[in-house]
């Protein structure tokens, strides 16, 4: 039995109902309904704890409509953890209503890398039968356009022939290395967007840094955490902690080219383990060495100076989207811009900090109509710039933004900043 980290009534009592969070709330901007706003969620959770509100299907629907974007946390004068109390109640929802079969199947695969590898390989073999693949945009569309909201006209990622983790040896070394870092690649970077890892290895080689690719790394647990499947989260975190401890003293950092995985490992693992002090201590010890790739490269290497010796790319114009888990959770926004800006013109969109609307597995499946609306708004912002490339250090944002751009018939393509940097170095 997991002890609850947050007391909903205490959070609700601390809410001064100032309403500052409403105007920035991703779901409130769509629904314009106080019930699905940060202070609405907080109020309802207080009532739920006092047994004045049943966790019925309406309440479930309300609590599952939060994008966990943390926009509200950023502006709240009392720093109320709306995102974390929603994550907490989603575990109650999962216990009461169970977890849908396809999410259970997905989380089973996240726990079992070998079976996931096999399925990804089979997916690669057969995907051309069902998918029209666009290699330039690293995306695909279903050949059969079924009239189902969740998949109709949807732009999707596709599996690469070989995963990143299975493409390289465990140690990728250089002569006279200056440092040694481990790479945590994330599930989408491992199976779909494999050029991110390839580009990162190229950058490290140019900087004379040895790369260690920990082959037994598992998913960071974020998809299961946002869905309330705490058994899966517990399993993944502990497996990863035990494994990371075997090499953490031999590397300068574990670098992660994915905002969500990085924030999950260096921040949310500790929150999740709040009632398991020994494990929490172990997670806390690892956390300072787990850093987003652009942040680590900008702070610890001569990468920017090296980029400045390269040609300025006047052909491509980039607009940068701030992933919620990068800017709001880790305060990382200047570093990717500093590195990209060395070689590319940057044209900022009207609100780079606005959530793209990915929102997690439930939002992408059962509530896709809301995710789609937020994604369209982000795509319009991107299309309003001069950019032909949109970048963000997050593959969940990539999947969502590519879908939004597809719906607006945009020619803008998505690249992770690590891919842009490697292109500039080449």
Question: Of 2 and 75, which CB lies nearer to ligand SF4 in the complex structure?
Answer: 75
Question: Of 82 and 206, which CB lies nearer to ligand SF4 in the complex structure?
Answer: 82
Question: Of 69 and 283, which CB lies nearer to ligand SF4 in the complex structure?
Answer: 69
* Residue 17 binding ligand SF4, by CB under 6 A: yes
Q: Compose the 40-59 pattern: x for residues touching ligand SF4 by CB under 6 A, - for all others.
A: -xx-----------------
Q: How far is the CB of 394 from ligand SF4 (least distance, A)?
A: 16
Identify the residue among 6, 8, 39, 379 touching ligand SF4 (CB under 6 A): 39
* Residue 32 binding ligand SF4, by CB under 6 A: no
Q: Which stretch binds ligand SF4 (CB under 6 A): 20-28, 101-109, 224-232, 279-287?
A: 20-28
Identify the residue among 30, 44, 59, 68 touching ligand SF4 (CB under 6 A): 68
Identify the residue among 30, 38, 279, 328 touching ligand SF4 (CB under 6 A): 38
Give the chain as a 3 state SS string.
CCCCCCCHHHHHHHCCCCCCCHHHCHHHHHHCCHHHCHHHHHHHHHHHHCCCCCCCHHHHHHHCCCCCCCHHHHHCCCCCCHHHHHHHHHHHHHHHHCCCHHHHHHHHHHHCHHHHHHHHHHHHHHHHHHEEEECCCCEEEECCCCCCCCCCCCEECCCCCCCCCCCCCCEECCCCCCEEEEECCCHHHHHCCCHHHHHHHHHHHHCCEEEECCCCCCCCCHHHHHHCCHHHHHHHHHHHHHHHCCCHHHCCEEEECCHHHHHHHHHHHHHHCCCCHHHHHHHHHHHHHEEEHHHHHHHHCCHHHHHHCCCCEEEEEEEECCCHHHHHHHCCCHHHHHHHHCCEEECCCCCCCCCCCCCCHHHHHCCHHHHHHHHHHHHHHHHCCCCCEEECCCHHHHHHHHHHHHHCCCCCEEECHHHHHHHHHC
Q: How far is the CB of 413 from ligand SF4 (least distance, A)?
A: 27
Q: How many residues bind ligand SF4 (CB under 6 A)?
A: 28
* Residue 138 binding ligand SF4, by CB under 6 A: no
Within positions 76 to 95, which residues make up the interface with ligand SF4, using CB under 6 A?
A: 76-78, 80, 82-83
* Residue 21 binding ligand SF4, by CB under 6 A: yes
* Residue 25 binding ligand SF4, by CB under 6 A: yes
Identify the residue among 27, 209, 236, 329 touching ligand SF4 (CB under 6 A): 27
What residue ranges bind ligand SF4 (CB under 6 A)?
15-21, 25-27, 38-39, 41-42, 66-72, 75-78, 80, 82-83
């Amino acid at each position: 039995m997991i002890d609850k980290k947050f007391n909903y009534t205490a959070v609700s009592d601390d809410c001064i109902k100032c309403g500052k969070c409403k105007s920035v709330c991703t779901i409130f901007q769509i629904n314009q309904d106080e019930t699905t706003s940060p202070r609405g969620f907080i109020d309802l959770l207080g009532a739920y704890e006092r047994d004045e509100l049943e966790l019925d299907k309406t309440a479930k629907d309300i609590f599952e409509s939060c994008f966990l974007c943390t926009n509200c946390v950023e502006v709240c004068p009392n720093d109320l953890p709306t995102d974390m109390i929603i994550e907490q109640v989603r575990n109650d929802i999962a216990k009461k209503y169970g977890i849908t079969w396809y999410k259970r199947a997905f989380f089973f695969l996240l726990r079992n890398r070998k079976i996931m590898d096999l399925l990804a390989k089979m997916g690669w073999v057969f995907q051309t039968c069902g998918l029209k693949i666009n290699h330039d945009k690293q995306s695909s569309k279903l050949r059969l356009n079924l009239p189902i909201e969740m998949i109709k006209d949807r732009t999707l990622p596709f599996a690469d022939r070989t995963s990143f983790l299975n493409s390289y040896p465990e140690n990728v070394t250089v002569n006279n290395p200056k440092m040694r870092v481990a790479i945590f690649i994330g599930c989408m970077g491992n199976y779909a967007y494999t050029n991110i890892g390839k580009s990162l290895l190229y950058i490290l080689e140019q900087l004379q840094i040895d790369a260690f690719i920990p082959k037994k790394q598992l998913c960071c647990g974020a998809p299961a955490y946002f869905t309330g499947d705490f058994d899966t989260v517990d399993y993944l975190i502990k497996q990863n902690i035990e494994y990371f401890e075997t090499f953490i003293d031999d590397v300068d950092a574990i670098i992660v080219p994915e905002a969500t995985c990085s924030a999950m490992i260096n921040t949310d693992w500790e929150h999740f383990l709040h009632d398991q002090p020994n494990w929490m201590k172990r997670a806390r010890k690892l956390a300072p060495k787990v850093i987003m790739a652009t942040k680590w490269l900008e702070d610890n290497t001569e990468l920017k100076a090296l980029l400045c010796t390269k040609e300025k790319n006047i052909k491509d114009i980039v607009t940068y989207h701030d992933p919620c888990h990068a800017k709001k959770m880790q305060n990382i926004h200047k570093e990717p811009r500093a590195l990209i800006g060395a070689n590319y013109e940057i044209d900022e969109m009207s609100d780079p900090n606005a959530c793209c609307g990915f929102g997690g597995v439930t939002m992408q499946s059962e509530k896709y109509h809301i995710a789609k609306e937020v994604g369209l708004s982000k795509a319009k912002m991107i299309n309003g710039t001069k950019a032909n490339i949109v970048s963000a250090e997050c593959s969940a944002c990539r999947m969502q933004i590519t879908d939004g751009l597809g719906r607006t018939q945009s020619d803008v393509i998505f690249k992770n900043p690590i891919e842009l940097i490697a292109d500039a170095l080449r």
